[in-house]
Amino acid sequence: MYQLTFINQKMSICVNGGTLADASSKAGFPLDLVCGGKGTCGKCSVTIESNGLKRNELACQFEITEDLTIYLDASQFLDQASLLTHHLAPQDVIFNPSISKTHFLHSDMMPETYSDHLKNANAPLLQKFSVIINTTEKDGFTAVYRQSQIIDFQKGDTTDWLFGGAIDIGTTSVVLYVYDLKTGELIQTESALNKQITFGADVITRILSCQEQDTALTEQNNCIRSTINSLLEKCYVNHPHLRDHLYQLILCGNSTMQHLFFKLNPIALGVFPFSNITQNSILTNNVHCGLDLPDFSTIEFLPLLGGFVGADTTAVLLTLPQDEKKYLMIDLGTNGEIAVGNTQQFYTASTACGPALEGANIECGMRASEGAIEKITLANDVISFKVIGDTQPIGLCGSAIVDAVAILRSIEIIDETGYLLTPDEYRKKRPDSQLFSQLTLLETDDVVFYFSNETVPVYISQKDIRQIQLAKSSIYSGCLTLLKECDLVLDDIDALVLAGAFGNFIDIENALAIGLLPLIPKEKIISIGNGAGHGVQLCLLNQHENQRTQSIQSHTKQVNLADSADFMEAYIMNMNFN
C-alpha cells in the first residue's frame, strides 16, 4: 500500500497502485482528462513530491510505486467550472403533469375491482399491492399514477407529496431541475460536471474507451449515475420528503449520453453510418436504473433525432415557437448541433466543434472556472481582460478564445489565412503599435501571443488558431449545408437561435467577425441559454409537450455531414477568416 497526501486538500488516502489519475478520482478529485487518458493533451499535469524532490507528471500516465505528496490546485479537478443552468423565461405552459396520486380507503377498492385498477401491472407491483391491501386498513393507501396507469402504492395518505425532476445530461455538465408536481413550483436547481469527463472531453473519446476497455461502459454508466445521485442528494437535504416521493425523471442528452445512461454499447455510434441502438424515447422505471429514487419511479429519456443529433436537440426544438417562421438553431456545446426549419419540418446535423471552443485542445485552454480569462477587449492599443474570480489568470476559456482570435484578427496580428505574425513582421506592418512586444518567437519557431506572462503564462499559439479555424469552419459550413438541403439562403432565415453554454457566453459580434456564426443581422440573433434544460422541463410540466417530442422526431430529417460533398467543399472554403 502507498500513502498519497493531497497537501492542498488536507487529505490522505492509501492505494495499491494504479495511475495518479485513478487515485485522484478515488480521493474525490477527478481530473480533466481531455484526451481520455492517452497522455496527449497534457491537461492533467500535476506537481508531485517524493524523497524531497518535486516534479511534474501526467497523472493519466504516472504509475504509483511509492508514497507521494501531491500538489493539486483547485482549478485542476472537476468541481470548479461555471455551469449554465438558466434559460429565457419559459413560455406560458399549462400545468398538466403525467404523474398524480389518489388516496383510497379499503372500502374504495373491493376485491371484485382489483383487476380494473391493476390492469397491466407487473409482478413486483402486484406483490407490493398484495402486502398493502392485506396489512393496512385505518389510513388506507395511496396509488401513484402515470396517466391512467398505477405505477406504485404507498401506505397511508401521501397525496400531499409528489415531485418530479427534469435532467439535461450534457457531455460536460449535468443540470437537475426539481418540481413540486402538486403545484408546478420549481423548488431546486442543481448542477455538476459530468463525471464521465475522466474518460475524455468529447463523445468520440468516450466511445473509443468503450471499444478499447472492457470495463469502460460499466464505469461510464456508474459515473453518470453517481453524478445524478449527487445532485439528488443535495436536493434531499433541503426537501426531506423528496427521497420517497420523487416519482418522475425526464432526461435529455446527446445520443452518446443516452447510450451510456442506459448502459447501451455505443461503439456503432463511433463509425459510419453512426447508428443508435434506438432513436425512440425510452421509458422504464428506477429498478433498471439504480438511482436514489423509489424503485417504481418512472424514468424517461426523450427521443433522439438521428446519429449524433440527440434528445437535447429535441428538447431545444420543443422551445421554438410553433409558427411558420424559418429558424436556424445552433447549440454550441461540446458538440455542435444545428437545425433549420420549423415544427412542420426540421433538417438537423451534428458537427464536431466543442472541445476547442470549450478550452480543450488549446494550449492554455481551460473550462470556465476560477482563474480563467473569460472576456478580452481592446482599446487604444491596449488589450485588457476579465478573469473569473478576479484572481490571477491561469488560462483561457472558450468565450475568451473567440475574443482573442477576433481581436488579433482585427489588428492584423492574425492574417486572413490564420497565420500568426512574428514580432518583427508585426512591427514592420504596424510600427505605431506596441503590441508586438506581446508576441514571442519561440526556439521551436512557434509564435505565441501573451495575454499574461506572470506566475502562469497565458497565451494563444499558432496551433491554437488552427484548432479554432477547424471548429469555426465546421459550424459555419454545417449551417450552409443544411440551408442548401432546405433550398434556403441566409436571407430566408427569420431568427438565428443560439442555445447551450458556449452560445450563451460568447460575444456575438466577435463570433460573427471570425466566421463562427453565419452572417445574419445581429438583431435576428437570440441567445436562449440552456434551451435543452428549458425543453425537458416543459416535458415534465405538461404531458402534451412531452408527446409533442414524438411529432418533432417524425418531422425531422437528419443530414449526415460526413457523407456530404457540399459540406466538405464548404468546410475547405470557409477555413480562412473574414
Answer yes or no: are the C-beta atoms of 94 and 72 closer than 8 Å: no
Of 60-64, 76-80, 373-377, 504-508, the least confident:
76-80
Q: How many residues does the chain have?
A: 578
Cis peptide before 273 (omega within 30 of 0): yes
Note the pLDDT of residue 35: 64
Residues 122 and 288: their CA atoms lie apart, in Å, by 14
Of 156-165, 174-183, 233-242, 349-358, the least confident:
349-358
Answer yes or no: are the C-beta atoms of 277 and 270 closer than 8 Å: no
Residues 235 and 422: their CA atoms lie apart, in Å, by 54
The predicted-structure confidence for 354-404, as pLDDT tens digits, reads as follows 567 766 678 888 877 888 899 999 999 999 999 998 889 988 988 999 999
Pick from 57-71, 78-92, 514-528 the range whose average pLDDT is largest.
Answer: 514-528
Residues 562 and 517: their CA atoms lie apart, in Å, by 20
Position 90 pLDDT exceeds 70: no
Q: Give percent of the chain with pLDDT exceeding 70.
A: 93
Cell 420549423 found at:
342
**What is the residue-averaged pLDDT of the chain?**
88
Give the DSSP H/E element, type plus range, for residue 512.
Answer: helix 508-513
Of 105-109, 140-144, 350-354, 483-487, the least confident:
350-354
Phi-psi bin for 303: left (phi > 0), alpha (psi -120 to 50), beta?
A: beta
The distance of Cα 449 from the centroid of its chain, to the nearest Å, equals 30
Note the pLDDT of residue 78: 56
Give 458's strand partners: 452
Position 82 pLDDT exceeds 50: no
- More confident of the two residues 570 and 38: 570
Answer yes or no: are the C-beta atoms of 59 and 30 closer than 8 Å: no
Contacts of 286 (CB under 8 A, 6+ apart): 293, 294, 295, 296, 297, 298, 299
The predicted-structure confidence for 508-565, as pLDDT tens digits, reads as follows 999 999 999 999 999 999 988 889 999 999 999 999 999 999 999 999 999 988 888 9
- DSSP one-letter string for 322-343: SSS--EEEEEESSEEEEEEEET
- DSSP one-letter string for 117-166: HTTT--HHHHHHHHHHHHH--SS-EEEEEETTEEEEEEES--TT--EEEE
* 3-class SS letters over 373-420: EEEEEEECCEEEEEECCCCCCCEECHHHHHHHHHHHHHCCCECCCCCE
CA atoms within 13 A on the CB side of 240: 0
Instruction: Report, in angstroms and rounded to the nearest whole number, the Rg of the chain calculated over CA atoms.
Output: 26
Note the pLDDT of residue 81: 47
Of 7-11, 37-41, 109-113, 272-276, the least confident:
37-41
**Nearest CA to 540 among 210, 243, 162?**
162
**3-state SS assignment for residue 450:** strand
**Cα 527-513-401 angle, rounded to 5 deg:** 75
Give me the mean pLDDT over the 323-348 stretch.
90
The distance of Cα 295 from the centroid of its chain, to the nearest Å, equals 27
> What does each C-alpha distance from 75 to 21, 243, 366, 367, 486 come to in angstroms?
15, 32, 9, 9, 44
Note the pLDDT of residue 79: 54
What domains are there in the chain, each with its CATH number? 2-76 (3.10.20.30), 322-354+472-573 (3.30.420.40), 356-466 (no CATH)
Alpha helices in 254-338 (DSSP H): 255-261, 311-318
Of 52-66, 200-214, 416-430, the least confident:
52-66
Cell 469552419 found at:
473
Pick from 161-170, 330-339, 466-475 the range whose average pLDDT is largest.
Answer: 161-170
**Nearest CA to 503 among 357, 405, 315?**
357
Residues 399 and 405: their CA atoms lie apart, in Å, by 10
Note the pLDDT of residue 506: 87
Rounding to the nearest 10 degrees, give the CA dihedral for residues 524, 318, 92, 543.
180
3-state helix, strand, coil in the chain (%, to 5): 35, 30, 35
Residues 365 and 451: their CA atoms lie apart, in Å, by 13
Give 253's strand partners: 169
Pick from 14-18, 104-108, 389-393 the range whose average pLDDT is largest.
Answer: 389-393
- More confident of the two residues 274 and 157: 157
* Strand-strand pairing, 382-387 and 345-352: unpaired
* Strand-strand pairing, 2-6 and 11-15: antiparallel
Of 57-61, 207-211, 490-494, the least confident:
57-61
The predicted-structure confidence for 160-178, as pLDDT tens digits, reads as follows 999 999 999 998 889 999 9
The predicted-structure confidence for 275-332, as pLDDT tens digits, reads as follows 889 999 999 999 999 999 999 999 999 999 988 899 999 999 999 999 999 999 999 8
Of 39-53, 71-85, 352-366, the least confident:
71-85
Confidence grade of residue 89 (pLDDT, cut at 50, 70, 90):
very low
Answer yes or no: are the C-beta atoms of 180 and 235 closer than 8 Å: no
Cell 477587449 found at:
377
Answer yes or no: are the C-beta atoms of 549 and 303 closer than 8 Å: yes
Residues 133 and 111: their CA atoms lie apart, in Å, by 10
> Which cell goes with 313?
436537440
